[in-house]
């Protein structure tokens, strides 16, 4: 079966790929999780009958952590403070990030109820994998999004997201072991089912997402 591959480069002043094991003062992973990478691709294009599967990420700038503070006023505050004030959230984020991310387009693993448009396209024999690849590349080149891309937290938007740039270089001197790496939060069906990888490794600046 033919492989339909896509890729992009993304950079920004701040990113937060939250490690769930760091509690209420969260710390970022050095690289986006599988779910976060998938979300970046799906911010550009979504087609019901296909699934975008991230396969690899490359670190293209040195890893720099930074102390970040923000006021949280959402529903997860404790009852005692909710009526009165915001909660100050302290986090350890990344700054000046840049990544190259690779993915493959595959048939959707969850076959729920399709929209009328999707059923019509399927009945006409449309190659949804090719259509998704073509649409992604076209939108990436033009800077068009299905939804605003963000780097982990919605307030951290990229300063660049697009095709690979000539001057970008992979940080091949970076090798790390990630003993508890969050792979994904949701199943293809949308049900919450966190999955962790106990032996994720960054080697020569790259991490391979393995299912």
Calculate the alpha carbon distances from 163 to 11, 15, 108, 119 in Å: 11, 19, 25, 31
pLDDT of residue 186: 76
Q: How far apart are CA 22 and CA 24, in angstroms?
A: 7
Among residues 19, 185, 40, the alpha carbon closest in space to that of 102 is found at 40
**Residue with structure tokens 């949308």?**
190
pLDDT of residue 129: 93
Tell how strand 206-208 and strand 50-59 pair up. antiparallel
Please state, rounded to an integer, the average pLDDT across all residues of the chain.
87
| Count of beta carbons in the 10 Å neighbourhood of residue 128 | 18
The top-level CATH class assigned to 4-208 is: alpha beta
| Token pair belonging to 173 | 């001197």
pLDDT of 210 strictly over 90: no
Where in the chain are the domains? Answer: 4-208
| Token pair belonging to 96 | 């000046």
pLDDT of 10 strictly over 60: yes
pLDDT in tens, 124-182: 557 889 999 999 999 999 999 989 999 999 999 999 999 999 999 999 999 999 988 99
| Token pair belonging to 133 | 């690849």
pLDDT in tens, 85-104: 666 789 999 999 999 999 99
**Residue with structure tokens 């595959």?**
106
Identify the band that residue 198 occupies on the pLDDT scale cut at 50, 70 and 90: confident
Region 50-70: mean pLDDT is 96
Identify the band that residue 48 occupies on the pLDDT scale cut at 50, 70 and 90: confident
The residue count of the chain comes to: 211
pLDDT of 122 strictly over 70: no
Region 56-78: mean pLDDT is 84
Q: Collapsing DSSP states into helix, strand and coil, what is residue 125?
A: coil
Q: Global pTM? A: 0.86
Query: By the 8 A CB rule, do 130 and 4 touch?
Result: yes
pLDDT of residue 30: 98
Region 36-61: mean pLDDT is 94
pLDDT of residue 79: 57
Query: By the 8 A CB rule, do 106 and 127 touch?
Result: no
Phi, psi angles (nearest 5°) of residue 71: -95, 120
């Amino acid at each position: 079966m033919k492989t339909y591959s896509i890729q992009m480069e993304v950079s920004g002043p701040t990113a937060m790929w939250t490690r769930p094991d760091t509690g209420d003062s969260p710390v970022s992973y050095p690289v986006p999780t599988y779910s976060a990478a998938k979300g970046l691709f799906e911010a550009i294009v979504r087609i019901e009958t296909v699934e975008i599967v991230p396969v690899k990420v490359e670190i293209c700038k040195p890893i720099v952590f930074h102390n970040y503070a923000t006021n949280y006023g959402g529903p997860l505050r404790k009852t005692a403070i909710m009526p009165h004030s915001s909660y100050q959230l302290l986090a350890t984020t990344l700054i000046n990030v840049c990544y190259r991310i690779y993915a493959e387009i595959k048939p959707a693993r969850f076959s729920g109820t399709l929209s009328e448009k999707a059923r019509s396209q399927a009945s006409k024999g449309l190659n949804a994998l090719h259509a998704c690849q073509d649409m992604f590349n076209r939108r990436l080149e033009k800077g068009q999004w299905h939804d605003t891309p963000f780097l982990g937290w919605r307030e951290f938007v990229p300063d660049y997201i697009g095709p690979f740039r000539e001057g970008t270089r992979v940080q091949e001197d970076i090798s790390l072991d990630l003993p508890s790496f969050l792979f994904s939060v949701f199943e293809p069906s949308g049900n919450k089912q966190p999955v962790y990888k106990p032996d994720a490794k960054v080697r020569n600046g790259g991490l391979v997402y393995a299912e």
